[in-house]
Structure 1
């Protein structure tokens, strides 16, 4: 793969990965009726940032000024993946969530605890495939995507003989 091909692939993936994951999240929400919990929203924000940065980088590609934005987009994609890993751990019961959207002990007033419980809980996976939740898939796809974008940009820079603008 040439330097130009590696760079083009990195730019394309930095846009397509978060766009596809956001598209999937919106389809799950609006077509299949799976509303997002608080931690689901946390995973969406870095993807939105990555899409914006990647679109700006696409406009700057011809001038060669978009590499830094693509790297930042890859960081944002990775951050969403890490949030997804944390969320999946909460769903699988590996650790307790830090938000109010997880179940808690009922305490002294069970009725008050039930009435104040959120409608969308973060500690229950509303959908799984092969035992992996949506948050788990976000982790897997986002981390693989972020690593791939970094590798492609690194390959492009090495093939070109050094750092480029």
Structure 2
């Protein structure tokens, strides 16, 4: 009986614990996604629009939370606490997929996007420095696709990645409810 308890404790902290695996995978894939976004921006000079930048917030939230959940799983924290963390992670990623879907819809012209990055520019502000301002500002429109691969824009890929990560988090939630 004592060896069985020791074995279970060892499994809870091992790298094969499904909660640990789910959280670690979400952290690694989310970090790779952000690194990819920075690569497109900084190396390929594909500048993000305001909606693109908003879609990054979920990753900035998900990476540290997933790392904390993975650390908690490796330390044998409460399964219900870890499952709750994974549920929050999954909800944030589903919300990000919805935002990415909205952005992709704006790009395809299915609906109007936010006025600050789509449609005509009508507010010129102070006209005294208008020409100076126009020379310094590069407006990145949310309704114009700068890059596509296999018919999908970066917003479309964000939908797919966010949904996959949400499913991974859901898998971790389900596994957290099962005895270790």
Task: Give the alignment's TM-score, normalised by structure 1.
Answer: 0.80
Q: 2:62 aligns with which of 43, 50, 75?
A: 50
Unaligned runs of 5+ in 1: 107-111
Q: 1:10-40, CA deviations, whole angstroms, 9 ceiling, x for partnerless residues?
A: 1112212321211111111001101111000
Instruction: Report the Cα offset of residue 105 of structure 1.
Output: 8.2
Q: 1:82 aligns with which of 66, 89, 98?
A: 98
Q: 1:139 aligns with which of 156, 159, 173?
A: 159
Rg (Cα) greater in structure: 2
- Are residues 1:63 and 2:76 paired? yes
SS of 1:71's equivalent in the other structure is helix
Q: Which runs of 4+ in 1 moved over 4 A?
A: none
Task: Give the alignment's TM-score, normalised by structure 2.
Answer: 0.74
Instruction: Report the Cα offset of residue 118 of structure 1.
Output: 6.5
- Are residues 1:128 and 2:140 paired? no
SS of 1:119's equivalent in the other structure is coil
Q: 1:153 aligns with which of 164, 170, 173?
A: 173
- For the aligned residue pairs, the C-alpha RMSD in angstroms reads 2.5
CA contact (8 A) 1:50 1:72 kept: no
1:109 match:
none
Unaligned runs of 5+ in 2: 1-10, 123-129
